[in-house]
Structure 1
Amino acid sequence: MTQENIHLGASAVPQASLGANPVLKLLPLTLTVFIGFLTLGMQLPVLPLHLHDTLGMGTLVIGLVVGAQFAAALLSRTWAGNFADMRGGKRAVMVGLVTAAVSGLVYLVSLAFVAVPVTSVWLLLGGRVLLAFGESLIVTGALGWGMGLVGAQHAGKVMAWNGIAMYGAYALGAPLGVALNSVWGFTGIAVATVFIALLALVIVSGVRAVAPTATRRTPFYKVMGAVWVPSMGLAFCSVGFGVITAFIALLFAARDWGNASLAFTAFGVAFIAARLLFGHLPDKFGGARVALVCVLIETVGLLLIWGADTATLAYLGAALTGFGYSLAFPGFGVEAVRRAPPQARGLAMGAYVAFLDISLGITSPLAGLLASGWGIGAVYLGGAIAVALSFAVALMLLRGREAPVP
């Protein structure tokens, strides 16, 4: 079988199939991603408390254990992308879910060593690394698999619905994790991690697989050379997301505006509403054109927060930031898919999402330095300037939209 035939079998689904309700075709896969990412969402508010209150660890160790998952996810993106291309998106997602379930078993083993905190922490660290590998496989596999099911011309919808699943899982997972922890402690989190991952595995097992798109590993530099420009657009516009999640609570405290939870709610509701109502626009009008408009909306939102003198204006700024960022992500992503070699779209998506990891990893410490020197409000001015740089990237993509795909 030739490379071209392999590609046609994977992504050139019959046209009648492509036109038949792509969102409905993606629904089981979206549900699987949502359920799978609950395992991450549950742990966000609980793991630091377990490390501090139960194991007696300080902030440095807590930061290392929590951050290990994000670092390992970044380092595993390339491997996960090649795995999805060579073994198929369905297998990548299923292996990722099994790996997530095993991470829950490692958490359970760590609880047997609570009396030896150092051993327990090392086991937790191992569980976080396993979860990171699982998350990388789920994300890259789901993106490649979704495009194989509905066609690359619906790449924007695939990214939009996967994003809804992921961020929805974070939003629901956090209170679910707190509730489980309050009744059963960290044991409840560990057991739930195992069973939730297995539940998602049962759901995804019935979804039609698509053929792998590659027979050999694609060198990372070849894919990066094709997608680095839209990936830089993602990195710049993700700064807005980073400063909202990391510093909005500190801003509200500094200005005596009370609880910042409504700002998170405003961001999240606007983010999901934009995906639900307008998630089809990058496919219809082009990713660069949609990103161009949306990063302007995100920039205005951050400037509103920077200049806000009331909590209401800050809520509005958070909502605009969430709305703009929501569609900028698939906007730049559609451009990355268009430029990627067809046989390496899983690797391309892994490389693209890695720029989100890099952006969030760099944003927090740099914004912290900015806040220490010029005040917490300066974080949002700096964020607006960074997001505005993604406008220049979108312009570059728009002007080069007829460039041939490698």
Structure 2
Amino acid sequence: MSFPEQSRAAYRQVVALTGALFLSYLTVAMSLPAVPVHVVQHLGLPNAAGGLAIGIAFLSTILTRGIAGGLSDRIGGKLCMQRGLLIYAVACVICLTSSWGTLPNLTAYTVLIAGRLLVGLGESLAMVGMISWAIGLMGQPQTGRVMALVGAGMYGSFAVGGPLGMILLGRTGFAGVMAACTLLPLIGLLAIQAIPAVAPSPGRRESFWRIIGQIWQPGTVVGFQGVGFAVLGAFFSLYFLSRGWPYAGLGLTCFGLGFVAVRLLCGHLPDRIGGTPVALVSLGVEACGQFLLWQAYTPLMALAGALLTGLGCSMVFPAMGANVVKRVPPHLRGTAIGGFVIFQDLAYGASGPLVGLLADKTSYSTVFLVGGVAALLAMTLTLRLHRAVLIAPA
């Protein structure tokens, strides 16, 4: 599709920002399989310690979204993103030092936890700063397109980062993985230096919780949508293994293919026809995918359900993100984005453990019933938002 000539340069700049975000998220994705192996096999600590080393970064991300949003509003998205990329690099250097053989194991683990906490802060600053900066470059009417690119960069990095991290771990050890993770955000930092900054908009600042009060409805939609991805990521392989099916590793592959394809092909739709219509259709597709997983009696049906889930989940975040940005003035955009992303973070972080309790008492297929019901609840709330838009005065 085409868009105005004057937007082409800005679009290319946003694509470059997406590339830098992709590199920063490779840092996260490559470390996911490497960190628990390092903790358990090299530091000799239990599996729970490995899980904590992974989860602490996501907790840090949730707790610092508001900080990142406020900083982006005060100093601008470019400086915010640059600081995030630098913090990524520093965090990975700290994690690298935990592999030094001269450190006692508990000391090395403490150093690793400190580095992982900083990784979460870097992720918050880089992502929120990038979105705010990109919207400033493209203009608010292109918010949906911007957020679609962001998601493509993020999930593309997770698609390749995990396998790449395991390959590096086998060939270079944990120190080699962390050295690569240190370089990646620095390369991204160099790549964005020439892109012009967008000055922060003047205006009266408001409290983070006041902004949450304005955006909680689209945020809740994204939270419910995130349940489907969370349960698929946590339980798809176990679901297949419990039934003795092959191809257990292809669940996230099918999800990712559908997700990225829709982001690239349909990223313009929220800006063209509105966020709520796009979200309604997307959530319906996600619900179908989850219910198909719930009732699947062959591996092919289940893989089709994973693909449908990816197709459906893909556009909900940019569709609702466009809705969020319209609710606040430009000088509060970063704060709103930071608050909005928290809803998705919470869904990703809480769904697995909570639904896992249900799986222990029933079966793995039941978790996808929960994902489908969550998508239907999101559809209900989205329909209310759509009706509100229709009756709102022009």
TM superposition score normalised by structure 1: 0.93
Identify the residue that residue 111 of structure 2 maps to in structure 1. 123
Partner of 2:166: 178
The alpha-carbon deviation at position 21 of structure 1 amounts to: 6.1
Matched, 1:110 2:98: yes
Distance 2:357 2:229 in 1: 18
The structural deviation recorded for 1:342 is 2.2
Partners of 2:118 and 2:290 in 1: CA distance: 35
1:245-275 Cα distance to aligned partner (Å, 9 max, x none)? 0000010001111231222111000000000
Structure 1 match to 2:225: 237
Q: What amino acid is the match of 1:320?
A: L
1:212 aligns with 2:182: no
- State whether structure 2 residue 153 is matched by structure 1 residue 165: yes
Superposed displacement of residue 120, structure 1: 0.4
What is aligned with 2:325?
A: 337
Q: 1:374 aligns with which of 343, 362, 368?
A: 362
Conserved? CA contact 1:82–1:218, under 8 Å: no
Matching residue within 346, 357, 362 for 2:350: 362
Aligned to 2:386: 398
Alignment correspondent of 2:50: 62
Deviation at 1:166, TM superposition (A): 0.8
What's the CA shift for 1:216? 6.1
- 1:266 paired residue among 232, 254, 278: 254
Q: Which moved more, 1:235-244 or 1:364-373?
A: 364-373
Aligned to 1:250: 238
What SS is found at the alignment partner of 2:33? coil
Give 2:47's aligned amino acid. Answer: T
SS in 2 for 1:400: helix
Corresponding residue for residue 120 of structure 2: 132
Change (3 A) 1:114 1:182: farther
**Where does residue 5 of structure 1 map in the other structure?**
none
Kindly provide the CA deviation profile for residues 75-120 of structure 1, in whole angstroms up to 9, marking residues without a partner as x.
0000000001110100011000000000111022222256511000
Q: Is the counterpart of residue 48 in structure 1 residue 27 in structure 2?
A: no
Check 1:122–1:222 CA distance in 2 against 1; reply closer, same or farther (3 A cut): same
Question: 310-319 or 254-263: which moved more?
Answer: 254-263
Task: Name the CA distance, whole Å, in 2 between partners of 1:145 and 1:380.
Answer: 37
Q: 1:402 to 1:340 in 2, by over 3 A?
A: farther
SS in 1 for 2:72: helix
1:294 aligns with 2:254: no
Match of 2:375 in 1: 387
1:78-93 paired onto structure 2 within 5 Å: 78-93=66-81
**Displacement of 1:382:** 1.1
Structure 2: runs of 5 or more not aligned: none
| Cα deviation 1:288-314 (Å, max 9, x = unaligned) | 110011100000000001100000001
Q: Secondary structure at the match of 1:309?
A: coil
Q: Distance in 1 between matches of 2:110 and 2:377?
A: 40
Superposed, 1:139-150 pairs within 5 Å as: 139-150=127-138
Q: Does residue 24 of structure 2 align to residue 36 of structure 1?
A: yes
Partners of 1:404 and 1:207 in 2: how far apart?
38
- Unpaired segments of 5 or more residues in structure 1? 1-14
Q: Return the match for 2:273 from 270, 285, 306.
A: 285
Q: Give the CA deviation at 1:277.
A: 0.8
Root-mean-square deviation (CA), in Å?
1.7
Amino acid at match of 1:153: P
Q: Deviations over 1:183-218 (max 9, x none)?
A: 110110121121111111100111111001246643
Instruction: Output one character per residue of 1:205-256: Cα deviation in whole Å (capped at 9) or x when no partner.
Output: 1111100124664311221111110000000011001011000001000111
Aligned to 1:4: none
CA distance in 1, matches of 2:117, 2:110: 11
- Measured in 2, the distance between the counterparts of 1:325 and 1:240 equals 8
Corresponding residue of 2:14? 26
Question: C-alpha displacement at 1:174, in angstroms?
Answer: 1.2
Is this contact kept in 2: 1:233–1:394, CA < 8 A? yes
Give yes or no for contact 2:159–2:253 (8 Å, CA) kept in 1.
no
Distance 1:247 1:148 in 2: 39
**1:303 to 2:297 alignment:** no
Q: Which residue of 2 aligns with 1:73?
A: 61
Q: CA deviation at 1:62?
A: 1.4
1:196 equivalent in structure 2: 184
Check the 8 A contact 1:76/1:136 in 2, yes or no.
Answer: yes
Q: Is the 8 A contact 1:104 1:191 kept in 2?
A: yes
Residues 86 and 216, structure 1, Cα contact 8 Å, conserved in 2: no
Q: Which secondary structure does the structure 1 equivalent of 2:199 belong to?
A: coil
1:276 equivalent in structure 2:
264
Inter-CA distance 282–91: structure 2 relative to 1 (3 Å threshold): same
* TM-score of the superposed pair, with normalisation by structure 2: 0.96
Q: Provide the rounded CA distance (Å) in 1 between the counterparts of 2:74 and 2:142.
A: 22
Q: Which amino acid aligns with 1:270?
A: G
Instruction: Classify the secondary structure of the residue corresponding to 2:314.
Output: helix
Give 1:401's aligned amino acid: V
**Paired residue total:** 391
C-alpha spacing 1:48/1:165, structure 2 compared with 1 (3 Å) = same
Residue identity matched to 1:284: R
